Amino acid sequence: MADFVATHRLTHEASLKMLAAGVAKANEMGVKISLAVVDASGQLIAFLMMDGARFFSGRTTIKKAITSASQRLPTGYAPEERVISMQIRMDGDFTNVLGGFPIAIEGQVVGGVAAGGAKEEEDAIVAKAALAALGLPG
């Protein structure tokens, strides 16, 4: 096994593209949301709260992005009986609320993106639009 492997890294330019695409989609839909982008380790790279977004949507949105990056899955996947255990193991950063998606390049998860503050289904649509800005499926 090699001592080093080539990796991909999410740039701040990519995160800005995702924020802009998410805001455009939210405006098109008539919703006010928060958007978050984290890197593969769950560190926040970019965050935006639209004027008029619910004040609590920020924290939940960041947790959605962290969850999707760390679990390498869209949020909302966990069976209800596992949610509390996951929240404890992730020190409160786990959420099962829809609207978070991993960002994957060539099979490697490089981060997560999430939207929050509207209906869960609307959050997911906005986050998918953010992914599409990079040519990635949601």
100 beta partners: 114
Between 137 and 52, name the one with better pLDDT: 52
pLDDT in tens, 82-108: 988 998 888 889 999 999 999 999 999
Secondary structure letter of residue 96 according to DSSP: -
Instruction: Provide the whole-model pTM.
Output: 0.93
CA dihedral 20, 22, 28, 31 (to 10 degrees): -120
d(CA 126, CA 123): 5
pLDDT band at 6 (very low <50, low <70, confident <90, very high): confident
The whole-number pLDDT of residue 138 equals 72
d(CA 43, CA 32): 24
**In angstroms, what CA-CA distances link 48 with 8, 16, 43, 62, 77?**
24, 10, 15, 10, 25
Which of 73, 8, 77, 10 is CA-nearest to residue 37? Answer: 10
The whole-number pLDDT of residue 29 equals 98
Helix/strand/coil percentages in the chain, nearest 5: 40, 20, 40
